[in-house]
Structure 1
């Protein structure tokens, strides 16, 4: 068979076969509503997080990946026993073990299938997978003894790298807790010197639509308002027609009404446009230093208020609307006091952010090292120790 351009030259004793000749290619049968925390079987959905279900849709060793959403990013290896899979998750099982060991295939597939979902360039990703992408996928086939050796090697090496990554992630989590504790100071210090006033006295909703050519923005709990293109973890598709999108000026407050209760609200430093599902609030007074307002709106005390004022049957459906957000009272110190508080937080959060950035850079490099190691091993580019 002709191999894909992204598949490098393989060792002489390796073979290549299409995936359709090596295993069964199917999908799950359950939907998200079938998840049950008390279920007896693992339930693989379109996420790295495995849930539970009461009824099984498969059994035995299988490799699973979502058919849409985080395509090319999430892969699961179910090793033994019953399991359940979402109806939009592809299930690869019943392997021809005379040619392919499932554990080797998991490492190969999770490394190389990304080249299919990105068209071989890693610059863009398809929105959903189709069966022909699997059936024609070329699988490198070392001798079985070597497949087992490669799989054992990658199990050991990636476990070491993963442990280092997890240590840095715990460090990041601890630093973020320290940052949130610092933000608690905003409310405490502001309350000592400022009078309580309602947000609606100083902000008003803006329905101004964006002029052509503006950049799409998103608001994050951890990052505030940033260009959507700067993040790789936002899978919401921007429509071609953005005429109804709202214009954001630097200094506006942007609220993700669906996730405000998690802290997705911030003062924007950028000009651009946001989804009409967001709320854009424009200052109507000179009562706030914008840096202070940004810290104030994102402090833990305020996030608790957003939860109280959000409406909906359950958290996944909660919304925070302006008619309730505007009623929240906040302490408003003098501009001089606000600037003093903001200056203090600028200095202290900068120190923490620098440590977070250093840890996240370590994680990024470790993940790159991990990916490169897997690719080299499953394509025969490195010697595997015996």
Structure 2
């Protein structure tokens, strides 16, 4: 066993005025130029205080190392103080070390050594800082340099195959989502963005509250809970997007959602503000939060499922985003007045129900395919992680051919 600190050394090189590209660490792409991830300029006016990383150095994010935010630098560059830079000592292959650090075995060793709030808790993976001083105490089995290279090359090949498969499945998901959008757009194309306002088909409006709740969800049937903002995301009602109400809080039955309610997000990101969905099922103890509206529609004039589809279509999304206000892109607001005054010239209620039924049938098939594909991707990531762990811990003979 080799102490990690004997295999790697911490580098804290700073050279004011040096002309090198600014680098970032991606969980999926490793150490790459920041310009490949975003065109937003760096926050600091000067890069003089930034750390220098050299080609073949390992760079990792102290705040998200357990999420796999690390990699080997392919070129010299500059990184912020959020990152640690390590250099392999003689006889150590950086690519092997990078894979070792991504293994579940290494993660378990980190968890044992973490200190601070939420240490060892996967839910707090982004809040526990893991500096080099923690890593250097880990005892790891590091084989000969030739074996390190063989393991790294084997994992390069095998993970590349898995990554290609994952990318193909991700493209399939995007195609399915595009197909879903097209189905919705076609169904609502007969509705004009003019004429009667939405308020003419609304019977009542309710808005919730946001008390201090537990972080975990409840069933909303036997136990009281408050919906979260994301309960209407994606045009589907998500009852599990809630937080349990503490026992010392008095519940408010007047803001419980009821089946058929049109739920609309009052505050969210630009892409999600105004998201609409229809409550399906009976949840007698599930309450609205203050960032959600619940509209009860006139059933003789409107089908809430169809109205939700209209609000989620591109033309109405443009109207909603135009009306949304807020200083931050991460949280915009749309007022009740702006929503109820949206123009929506609907066809007959019978036609709406017919189109809504068609949408339900078609989109549910697409959604099922999306869920199945996402599950396949999840399994592929698990296979990738298991393969890395098996290879760096000597459970795989990397000298065998793939066909063998």
- Band the TM-score falls in, shorter-chain normalisation: 0.7 to 0.9
> Which stretch shows the higher mean deviation, 343-352 or 44-53?
44-53
C-alpha distance 125-219 of structure 1, shift in aligned 2 (>3 A): same
How far apart, CA to CA, are the structure 1 residues paired with 2:371 and 2:348?
A: 33
1:63·1:78 contact (CA, 8 Å) conserved in 2? yes
How far apart, CA to CA, are the structure 2 residues paired with 1:162 and 1:358?
A: 18
Note the 1:318-333 alignment, pairs <5 A: 318-333=332-347
Tell me the alpha carbon deviations over residues 31-57 of structure 1, each in whole angstroms, 9 at most, x when there is no partner. Answer: xxxxxxxx9724326876863367453
Q: Does 1:104 align with 2:115?
A: no
CA drift at 1:179: 0.6
Q: Does 1:165 align with 2:150?
A: no
CA drift at 1:314: 6.6
CA drift at 1:290: 2.9
Work out which of the two has the higher radius of gyration on C-alpha atoms and give 1 or 2.
2
Aligned counterpart for 2:296 among listed residues 243, 265, 283: 283
C-alpha distance 312-206 of structure 1, shift in aligned 2 (>3 A): closer
CA drift at 1:327: 2.5
CA drift at 1:380: 0.8
Corresponding residue number in structure 2 for 1:84:
78
Corresponding residue number in structure 2 for 1:175:
176
Q: Secondary structure, in 3 states, of the residue corresponding to 1:380?
A: coil
> Which stretch shows the higher mean deviation, 319-328 or 213-222?
213-222
Corresponding residue number in structure 1 for 2:129:
129
Corresponding residue number in structure 2 for 1:253:
263
How far apart, CA to CA, are the structure 1 residues paired with 2:147 and 2:177?
A: 44
Tell me the alpha carbon deviations over residues 102-157 of structure 1, each in whole angstroms, 9 at most, x when there is no partner. Answer: 11111111223443566698864443224354343443312221111100000011
2:53·2:79 contact (CA, 8 Å) conserved in 1? no
How far apart, CA to CA, are the structure 1 residues paired with 2:83 and 2:353?
A: 54
CA drift at 1:304: 1.5
Aligned counterpart for 1:94 among listed residues 78, 84, 87: 87
C-alpha distance 340-309 of structure 1, shift in aligned 2 (>3 A): same
Q: Does 1:23 align with 2:8?
A: yes
TM-score, structure 2 length as denominator? 0.72
Corresponding residue number in structure 2 for 1:360:
374
CA drift at 1:381: 1.0
How far apart, CA to CA, are the structure 2 residues paired with 1:229 and 1:47?
A: 26
Tell me the alpha carbon deviations over residues 267-305 of structure 1, each in whole angstroms, 9 at most, x when there is no partner. Answer: 2447545664x2333326434323223322222222212
CA drift at 1:333: 3.2
Corresponding residue number in structure 2 for 1:9:
none
Q: Secondary structure, in 3 states, of the residue corresponding to 1:261?
A: coil
Q: Secondary structure, in 3 states, of the residue corresponding to 2:205?
A: strand
Corresponding residue number in structure 2 for 1:369:
383
Note the 1:1-386 alignment, pairs <5 A: 15-17=1-3, 19-25=4-10, 41-44=21-24, 51-52=34-35, 55=47, 57-60=51-54, 61-68=56-63, 72-87=66-81, 89-98=82-91, 100-112=92-104, 113-115=106-108, 124-126=123-125, 127-131=127-131, 133-191=134-192, 196-199=196-199, 202=202, 204-208=205-209, 213-214=224-225, 217=228, 218-219=230-231, 221-222=233-234, 224-226=236-238, 249-250=257-258, 251-255=261-265, 257-262=267-272, 265-267=275-277, 268-269=279-280, 271=283, 272=286, 276=290, 278-283=291-296, 285-286=298-299, 287-312=301-326, 315-316=329-330, 318-385=332-399
> Which stretch shows the higher mean deviation, 89-98 or 151-160?
89-98
1:263·1:298 contact (CA, 8 Å) conserved in 2? no
C-alpha distance 383-220 of structure 1, shift in aligned 2 (>3 A): farther
2:235·2:309 contact (CA, 8 Å) conserved in 1? no
Q: How many residues align?
A: 351
C-alpha distance 324-229 of structure 1, shift in aligned 2 (>3 A): closer
1:196·1:329 contact (CA, 8 Å) conserved in 2? yes
How far apart, CA to CA, are the structure 1 residues paired with 2:8 and 2:395?
A: 25
CA drift at 1:170: 0.9
